[in-house]
Amino acid sequence: MQLIADLLTTLAALAAAGYCLVLARRLKRFNQLENGMGGAIAVLSAQVDDMTRALERAQATAAHSETQLRALTERAEKGAEKLELMLASLHDLPDEEEPRRRILRRRHRHETMEAAE
C-alpha cells in the first residue's frame, strides 16, 4: 500500500511539473513583444498615450476658443447696449422738422426786352 501511495504521489508531482512547464511556455509566448499579446499591449499602450496627448491638446484648444468666444460675446453685448441707447435717443427727437427758409433769387431783367404790343 505504501508503494502505491508513493507511485501516485510521484505521478502527481510529475503531472504538476508538466503542467507548470506548459504554463511557463504559454506565459513566455504571451509576453513576447514581437508577435504575442505583449506586443499588442505595447502598441495599445502607445496609442493610449497618443490619444491622451491629443485629448489634452483638444481641451486646451477648446478652453482657448471658449475664452475668445466669451470675450466676443461680451463685446457684442456692449455694442448692442450702445445701439439700444442710440435708438432710444432717436425717439427723443421731435417728429416734425423745423421749416426751412426759402431763399428767393431775383432774376435779372435784360434791358433789351421789348414791351409787348
Mean pLDDT score of the chain: 85
CB contact at 8 A, 56 and 63: no
> What is the separation of C-alpha 96 from the centre of its chain, rounded to a whole number of angstroms?
54
23-80 pLDDT, tens digit each: 999 888 877 767 777 778 888 999 999 999 999 999 999 999 999 999 999 999 999 9
Instruction: Name the residue with higher pLDDT: 11 or 37.
Output: 11
| pTM of this structure | 0.45
Say if CB 38 and CB 31 are below 8 A apart: yes
Q: Tell the burial category of 36 from Cβ atoms under 10 Å away from its Cβ (0-12, 13-18, 19+).
A: middle
Residue 36: partners with Cβ closer than 8 Å, 6 or more residues away? 29, 30
